[in-house]
Amino acid sequence: MSTPYLVYCTPEGDIHEEPRLQALTFGNQPLAATELISVPDGVTLSMMPDRLAVGQKRNGGRQVIPAARGWAAAALLPIGYTRTQLPAYEKVPGTEPLPFFGYSAVAGMNGRLYVAAMKTDDPRKWHPRAFNRRALTHLVNEKQAAYPRNRIIAQHAHCALDYSCPTASNLFFGRWEMAIAVSPGCNARCIGCISKQEEEDLISPQDRLGFIRFLDTRRPTLLIIAL
């Protein structure tokens, strides 16, 4: 079986292969071919700024790619896939935190790209091709025109158009599974929460609902569960 080799991003954003260096995982462990799958449809290849790419030489020693040649690469997986390994890198001094995305290890093998991941759900309903941007924008405008004072719909329009959230988008497409934002609070306290970070140097990529929605008990409430 072939050995996965290092790939990294050039300053111009291109993917460069380094077949002489074996790909590593976070923690500097060799990345095994059995941990990899072909890059699935809908994946996003990402540069990791200020993170130096690291590979392993044939003699077992580590080699760091200079910043002038590029930065470490990672893959952002589409819904339906779960990452199994984090990318290897070495920080440069004064490194700023990266946005809170799910960075997965990526490697090259036999001239093709692979990611450290496994398929854990049916991705067909979550593939980008199922979310036509032009159609979504039209449906959002149509819904907001029908409910101009509805703050819940306004919040979901923000999530659908600005964050490309599939479940928020499904509210406007009127199909499948959709999420309803009902509260700015949460009791999970996830360390990597994407909507609230208490530390000043960590920026949340998304904003929470800015108000509390109270249920009007004088009017009937319809709960829709989409499967």
pLDDT at 223 over 50: no
DSSP class of residue 34 equals G
Beta-carbon-side half-sphere exposure of residue 68 (alpha carbons within 13 Å): 0
Give the separation between CA 126 and CA 33, rounded to whole angstroms: 27
pLDDT at 70: 93
Closest CA to 73 of 45, 54, 101: 45
In the predicted model, what is the mean pLDDT of the chain? 86
Confidence of residue 214 (pLDDT cuts 50, 70, 90): low
The whole-model pTM stands at 0.75
Residue type, 45: L
pLDDT above 90 (res 6): yes
- Lowest average pLDDT, out of 26-35, 99-108, 113-122, 210-219, goes to 210-219
Runs of H (alpha helix) within the chain: 133-146, 151-162, 166-173
Res. 195 pLDDT band, cuts 50 70 90: low
Percent of the chain with pLDDT over 90: 54
Query: In 2-79, which ranges are E strands?
Result: 5-9, 15-23, 36-38, 44-48, 51-52, 54-56, 62-64, 71-76
Q: What value does the mean pLDDT take over residues 57-73?
A: 92
Q: Which of 20-29, 141-150, 177-186 has the lowest mean pLDDT?
A: 177-186
Q: Can you give the pLDDT at residue 192?
A: 66
* pLDDT at residue 191 is higher than 60: yes
Phi, psi of 108 (to 5 degrees): -105, 155
Evaluate if residue 196 carries a pLDDT over 50.
Answer: yes
